[in-house]
A and B are shown apart, each in its own frame.
Chain A
Amino acid sequence: MTQIPARITAWFASKGWSIHPHQQDMFNRASDPATLLIAPTGGGKTMAGFLPTLAELADGAHKGLHTIYVSPLKALAADIRRNLRGPADEIGLPIRIEDRTGDTSATQKKRQRVDPPHILLTTPESLALLTSYEDAPRMFAGVQRVIVDEIHALAESKRGDQLMLALARLQSLCPDLRRVGLSATVEDPQAIAQFLARHPDPCQIVQADPGPDPDIRMLETQEMPPWSGGGAAYSIPAVLEQIKQHKTTLIFHNTRAQAEIFFHNLWLANDDGLPIGIHHGSLDRQQRERVEAAIVRGDLRAIVCTGSLDLGIDWGEVDLVIQIGAPKNVKRLVQRIGRANHRYNAPSKALLVPANRFEVVECVAALEAARAHDLDGDPRGPGPRDVLCQHILIAAAAGPFDAETLFGEMTAAGPYAQLTRDEFDACLEFCATGGYALRAYDRWQRLQQRPDGQWQLRDPRAAQRIRMNLGTIQDTDTLKVRLKRNRGGKPLGEVEEAFAASLTPGETFLIGGQIVRYEGLREMVVEVSRRADRKPKVAVFAGTKFATSTQLSDRILRMFAQPDWPQLPEHTADWLALQRDMSRLPQRDRLLIESFPNDGRENLCVYGFAGRNAQQTLGLLLTKRMEETGLAPLGFVATDYATLIWGLDAVTDPRPLFQLDALRNGLETWLAGNAVMKRTFRASATIAGLIERNTGGQRKSGRQATFSSDILYDTLLKYDPNHLLMQITREEAMRGLVDFGRIETMIARIGDRIDLLRLDRVSPLAAPLFLEVGKVPVKGAAEERLLAEESARLLQAAGLAPG
């Protein structure tokens, strides 16, 4: 294909558009095996991806599937279908375009497998699922192109690894498959290119004109941001004013719970009755779709949202983005800002709203970094093996396979190019027998080798179970929320199981912007009634929490070193000055530790500025050492800049706690028994297929049938500590939740320059930590002490003598 068909260029001309240079460039490279386009939002990225497809399908000769489009969001797939349908019809192209996601009906799905459309719009999970069917070769026969949209976002999680393994499978079925990746601005395009391309194919990177710099500022408010908290309620009047001044405003929040509270407050203050909606991943699908449709129609003046609107969908009329809370990482901020004003070559407009005083500092640092085009990011590690295990099972669900062939296929996926045969064999062994030192499952292997050497499922029914548990997204266990009616009321959304367990009938919480009253739990559904007469307890949603990047943390520490802070609002500058006065400001080459009593407990606040995950690890390591030395720690909480530990006794000499060698030595033994490891294990074991989230209809009514994954972890730790899943857990934790690298960097930087300050009360900088969520309990001696106290108290209250 050398020229864009005249019909298509004529259509562009009829719209008064011209083909952008990067669209032409992508078209010229249409026969390359892999191409990556880096373009800002609104740069005609989607059209650049689809132009070759439209051209190749223009003559109507192609039968069956031609192009598979993959996006991280279901909503995006549906949106692209609408946006592609229009041009295709107007140009008069005989093309069938359909989407297929978790939301597609079962009949539609079945029909698609028999009679696939020309263009299929889908998600990584739905595509992986399609490759698990025996009829996959028939359905995918003749596929020419795959377009991966928002590849920068997919590359940040295991969904990306899953997708690349599915593409490797697809490539085996369709050797001529060509790949296109569409990405927002990233700090390392080459890494994304290698991730996308079949190993060792080359992948050309096409850079579109990035457009003018965005217009980013801090939102000016009458009220001062509070000392702590994440609600940013103080900013409501100023935010409402901005909404009035703009056509459509997207108001981004970092967590779903914060979005709920903000929406609630915004609604209470919305005297003019402006149409404002809320959108996040825990809301019921119908409710989300209604909001999306209203945005498309231009009916809404503002949408309170979370990462669920981070990507893709071209809302057109959005002319302002407001970020509530610190953006944590500059790259994501820049990408979010790109959501405003989707006209090419128009600057996007954005306002940052810090939720508390500390976030003022963080927002100003992020703003300075964005203006300096100083993007941040960490290199991607090798593809995780739990996802590999899942794909071995998926391959088995599709039919018998040869190990050598499958190994060749999987190592053609960018993230797994470095995978060794031994590593692969260990994963295969795990899938087949469990891979235990005790070979207990020889009779009941999951996969068996046939006499001809091919591997297959022992029990064919297992294929269905594998499909039901496919995917890498780790929701915490959630329960559906419904209005209580005679025959099943309206679904409202979902809350975490742990949150539901903490409710007692009569308590109220917020969901989808309404206050509801908890009535009870029936067949795993939370039943509620509408109630507006009590202050809500807010639903606790698992918000994805990113650690503040190293680059951003460094900027903050550099700012602290200034003698004064002309770039900060006065109230924040005063606060830092007060901290300098009462205690001290953290410095880049020293470690500040504060010790103070509060609320009947002794507290230790460690300002490591190592990012949330590393600060959490530090919390775990320190509490372990404190437990050993009898300091009875009760728990800790970590933020991006500090770890706060509370316990029954005060720490007087911190130095022995902070020796790197001791910390590193302690790491291995410590890694064993802590909550983060168990959480990581649970995620990996679920992905690798050891824990089934869905057992289809087999869920027992009594909860005693299910047991905690912690028990599996403890058992493996005791009897099979080097089991594959334990290795994966350690690896994952070290680079993800544990992030020990940043602790090492920090300790190397500070050496023995540790300052312990004993204060008589909470310092200005430590105060916000008391309101942080995500407190990690330490189950040590202190818990036994508490239990004894509480049991005695309860017995006394009941008029009984302690037993």
Chain B
Amino acid sequence: MNEVAFSFAGQTLSALGSGALWWPDQQLLCVSDLHLGKSERIARRGGPTLPPYDSRETLTRLATDITRTNPATVICLGDSFDDLQSSLAMEASDQRDITTLQAGRRWIWIEGNHDPGPIDLGGTHMSECLIGPLTFRHIAKPLTQSEVSGHYHPKARLNARGRSITRPAFLIDQTRLILPAYGTYTGGLRSSDHIFDGLMSEQAMAILTGPQPRIIPMPR
């Protein structure tokens, strides 16, 4: 199976190889940092005209996960759009794709630092949301409990027989779960970055995404 099951806040959750989080008991799929419209925003601001297929690619991968898990609820954990204008300037086909994905399920947009306001698409818009014991918000807060967040685009590196392998990764400890970025045009922040020192406990684990996700002690 292309997923790793783990226990968090008394719940059994699954890290999918794609970077999405699956919560079987709630039939809930959560993805973070889609950054839809990133290429459009860069061009709008006078930067290079990057291949404009990033949103389509991101939504295609999301559609695959949704088809496979058939969730009752989908949470997009913030920075779903690269900025608020991106959400308005979406290709009509991408908008249709989102509407199709939303059909028949509850869809929650959590606000992020890139998209801190209402989005002109179906679904509920929230700054954070509480489901069962879990709190979903974009940026991790200090001294928290049972919190699921994104924002940092974590990735982890390990050495195996001389080979260095770096992958986007889930970071997990007793109180916190940080999701990797799901968007196509996103980079990553190494788990060894000092930012994570203050966020993740000594016992933190990392789950590397990929064809078969793997869990390891979080590299520091």
- Where the two chains meet, the residues of A that have a C-beta atom closer than 8 Å to any C-beta of B are 433-434, 436, 438, 440-441, 443-446, 458-459, 461-462, 465, 502, 634-635, 689-692, 695, 702-708, 711-712, 715-716, 718-720, 723, 777, 783-784, 786-791, 794-795, 798, 800, 802-803
Contact = CB atoms under 8 A, between A and B. Distances in A.
29 contacts: A433-B49, A434-B52, A436-B53, A438-B91, A440-B91, A441-B40, A441-B52, A443-B44, A444-B43, A444-B49, A459-B45, A459-B46, A690-B50, A691-B48, A704-B188, A711-B185, A715-B54, A715-B57, A716-B53, A719-B56, A786-B161, A786-B165, A787-B208, A790-B158, A790-B161, A791-B208, A794-B158, A803-B5, A803-B6
Contacts of B188: 703-704
A440 B189 contact: no
B215 A704 contact: no
A715 B51 contact: yes
Contacts of B153: 704
5 closest residue pairs by CB, A with B: A434-B49, A440-B52, A790-B160, A459-B46, A707-B187
A703 B215 contact: no
Nearest to A431: B49
Contacts of B186: 704, 707
A524 to B, nearest CB: 13
Contacts of B161: 786, 790
Contacts of A440: 39-40, 52, 91
A783 B158 CA distance: 12
B47 interface: yes
B46 A795 contact: no
A704 B35 CA distance: 12
A433 B39 CA distance: 12
Nearest to A803: B215
Contacts of B190: 703
A465 B42 CA distance: 13
Contacts, number: 136
Interface in B172-216: 181, 184-190, 193, 195, 207-208, 210-212, 214-216
A634 B161 CA distance: 10
Contacts of A691: 48
A723 B159 CA distance: 36
B109 interface: no
Contact of A436 (B44, B51, B89): B51
A715 B54 CA distance: 7
Contacts of B68: none
Contacts of B163: 634-635, 777, 783, 786
Contact of A787 (B53, B165, B185): B165
B212 A787 contact: yes
Interface bin, chain B = 35 or more
Interface of B: 4-6, 39-40, 43-54, 56-57, 89, 91, 152-153, 158-161, 163-165, 181, 184-190, 193, 195, 207-208, 210-212, 214-217
A441 B153 CA distance: 27
Given A704-B181, A705-B187, A438 B160 contact: no
A75 B187 CA distance: 38
B212 A784 contact: yes
Nearest to A502: B164
A689 B56 CA distance: 23
A704 B5 contact: no
A728 B72 CA distance: 46
B49 A704 contact: no
Nearest to A460: B46
Given A712-B50, A791-B158, 17 more contacts: A434-B49, A434-B51, A440-B52, A441-B49, A458-B46, A462-B46, A465-B46, A703-B187, A705-B187, A715-B53, A715-B184, A719-B57, A786-B160, A789-B160, A791-B216, A798-B217, A800-B217
Nearest to A781: B211
Contacts of B212: 784, 787-788
Contacts of A465: 46-47
Nearest to B188: A704
Contact of A703 (B50, B184, B189, B217): B189
A501 to B, nearest CB: 8
Contact of A788 (B44, B91, B214): B214
Nearest to A634: B163
A331 to B, nearest CB: 37
Contacts of A786: 160-161, 163, 165
Contact of B51 (A635, A723, A784): A723
A718 B53 contact: yes
A784 B210 CA distance: 9
B48 A791 contact: no
Contacts of B53: 436, 438, 715-716, 718-720
A794 B43 contact: no
Nearest to A793: B160
Chain B CB within 10 A, most for which of A691, A702, A707: A707
Contact of A704 (B39, B152, B159): B152
Chain A CB within 10 A, most for which of B4, B39, B164, B190: B39
A344 to B, nearest CB: 51
A596 B73 CA distance: 55
B165 A690 contact: no
Given A704-B187, A795-B215, A716 B51 contact: yes
A791 B215 contact: yes
A592 to B, nearest CB: 27
Contacts of A703: 187-190, 193
A102 to B, nearest CB: 23
A1 to B, nearest CB: 48
Contacts of A719: 51, 53, 56-57
A688 to B, nearest CB: 9
A635 B165 CA distance: 13
Contacts of B159: 790
Contacts of B214: 787-788, 791
Nearest to A685: B48
A794 B187 contact: no
Contacts of A444: 40, 43-44, 49
Contacts of A795: 215-217
A221 B89 CA distance: 71
